[in-house]
Structure 1
Amino acid sequence: MGKRDFLWLHLRELPYFRALLRAVEARFYQDLHLPRPVLDIGCGDGHFASVTFAEPLDVGLDPDPGVLPLARNYGGYRWVLRGYGNALPFGSASFASAVSNSVLEHIPDVDGVLQEVARVLRPGAPFIFCVPNHRFTRSLSVARFLDRLGWHGLAEAYRRFFNRISRHYHCDDVPRWDERLRAAGFALERYWHYFSPEALACLEWGHYFGLPAWVARKLTGRWILAPTTWNLSLTRRVVQPYYDQRAICDDGVYTFYVARRV
């Protein structure tokens, strides 16, 4: 795949805060090799795969029947089906690689999912995923402001609130994920932190300023009613600096993992 403007490709389809994060993540995959066949656990509506990968992935799986027609229409997968990560409908050693982009943090039974992913992967197959880490909630701008005022209880309440609306069950550090991976039959090869606290503030406030996009989605089925340059130029100017900044950073609030089936 040649160089693509991932920020624009996401901005024209998604609320700006989601577009920013997904655009940053899409760039990482350009330097990673995914042997076929590839399984995507938690494919959602399929937009991310259709934008990120030069060729359709082999299988996209998601438990939500409402998003599967969208995933088929986007054309990011050869085969889309409904299924749960802790009960994958495939035989053992069916896949040569697997990905799960910003999904595992939303799954209560994440250990069961990792065990199932290991089962359906061939020995030596890579498993690539990304999740928010232990710095996510403590870096939230509103919570940090409340802490500076000495309102620590209110700051903690806000962190719990934001995690709840983000549907996060797991915001863990590398040792915790390494422990989970080893227990499931993986070896962690490498990882990197990304998405600075400043970028997180952009994402955080987007949950509130993005209300018009949410209304549009409910009424029309689309997040962005006018995906044109003139309509999105101001939005792009706001988020472009966060997209252009160095993606990999020691204080990043998300972590990208490359593991391998033992």
Structure 2
Amino acid sequence: MSQVSAEIYLQRYLRLTPLSLALQRAVEAKHLASVVLKQPTLDLGCGFGEFAQVFFDQPVAVGVDICPKKINQAKKTGKYLKLVQADACQLPFKTESFNSVISVSALEHMTNPSKVLKEVLRVLKPEGQLVLTVVTDKWEQNLFYPELLQKVGLKKLADKYRQLFNQVFKHQQLLSQWEWEKHVRQAGFELKVSQAIVSPQIARFFDLFLITAWPAQLAKKMVGRRVVWRPLFMISLLTKVFKKYVDETEPVVGTNLFLVAIKSGK
């Protein structure tokens, strides 16, 4: 996997997803590209396969997701050698099957991340690496509309919005950076990298532009996948406008977390 700039990842994502998601994922992709993923690799919580389309030059060994509709759509990307529908708490793979496991903003949607992480440890080979991004508790604290509602004295409405937001996006665990690190270590991993990513401004943009995502989300309900179409000039324009926000050349007080952990060979 050759390292690509966040700008290029943003362009690629804008061909596939609503603006809100493209901004967040472009930042994640930039940081994930700093790690060399040894094969075979497992994509845990692969979803529709959008990240694989944008990120991987070569097909991924295995993608796994609990949702059969997402697995069916991921097959159409041609980015996986094998796709498996399974619960991440009970991975149907032999012990020490993979050299790398990657997971992109999936763990926060799972009810038992500790059990999932122990399963990941099991299927990794000695010295294998877990590379993941997760949304933290700072995400909901930096949403655009709740901030606006609080500024005009509507705190209860702001709290209700956050609650509804998390229900819509099926967030089960929005933990702090320290809590996520604790989960990883307690599962038996040696933590190598823990970096806050995705600035509060990106979180605000995500929330602000959600309204523009409704056609894609409606298509998702109707045909089982997002349908996004933008003319090339619009992709170019949006990339120029938002490039400086996704670059993140300096450390940020992030709303997401980038983690790299190793399974000790001892």
One fold, TM greater than 0.5?
Answer: yes
Of the structure 1 ranges 79-88 and 27-36, higher mean CA displacement relative to structure 2 is found in 27-36
Pick from 146, 157, 164: which aligns with 1:143?
Answer: 146
Q: Which runs of 5+ in 1 are unaligned?
A: none
* Residue aligning to 1:229: 232
Give, in whole Å, the separation in 2 of the partners of 1:232 and 1:35.
Answer: 32
Give, in whole Å, the separation in 1 of the partners of 2:210 and 2:228.
Answer: 18
Instruction: Give the root-mean-square deviation of aligned CA atoms.
Output: 2.1
How far residue 225 of structure 1 moved from its aligned partner, in angstroms, is 5.0
How far residue 89 of structure 1 moved from its aligned partner, in angstroms, is 0.3
Cα separation, partners in 2 of 1:213 and 1:235, compared to 1, 3 Å:
farther
Q: Secondary structure at the match of 1:79?
A: strand
Cα separation, partners in 2 of 1:225 and 1:210, compared to 1, 3 Å:
closer
Kindly provide the CA deviation profile for residues 212-240 of structure 1, in whole angstroms up to 9, marking residues without a partner as x: 22234445666445343035455445533
Cα separation, partners in 2 of 1:223 and 1:62, compared to 1, 3 Å:
closer
How far residue 192 of structure 1 moved from its aligned partner, in angstroms, is 1.0
Give, in whole Å, the separation in 2 of the partners of 1:117 and 1:147.
Answer: 40
Cα separation, partners in 2 of 1:216 and 1:72, compared to 1, 3 Å:
closer
Pick from 146, 171, 190: which aligns with 1:168?
Answer: 171
Amino acid in the other structure paired with 2:147: R
* Residue aligning to 2:115: 112
Pick from 35, 44, 52: which aligns with 2:47?
Answer: 44
Q: Which has the higher contact order (CA 8 A, sep 6+)?
A: 2
* Residue aligning to 1:260: 262
Contact 1:50 1:76 in 2 (8 A): yes
* Residue aligning to 2:157: 154
Give, in whole Å, the separation in 1 of the partners of 2:175 and 2:111.
Answer: 13
Give, in whole Å, the separation in 2 of the partners of 1:222 and 1:103.
Answer: 17
Give, in whole Å, the separation in 1 of the partners of 2:37 and 2:3.
Answer: 17
Contact 2:18 2:228 in 1 (8 A): no
Amino acid in the other structure paired with 1:243: V
Contact 1:118 1:184 in 2 (8 A): yes
Q: Which runs of 5+ in 2 are unaligned?
A: none
The number of residues matched between the two structures is 261
Give, in whole Å, the separation in 1 of the partners of 2:178 and 2:4.
Answer: 34
Contact 2:137 2:255 in 1 (8 A): yes
Percent identity between matched residues is: 32
Kindly provide the CA deviation profile for residues 159-206 of structure 1, in whole angstroms up to 9, marking residues without a partner as x: 222122121111111221122112211121111111111111111122
How far residue 154 of structure 1 moved from its aligned partner, in angstroms, is 2.5
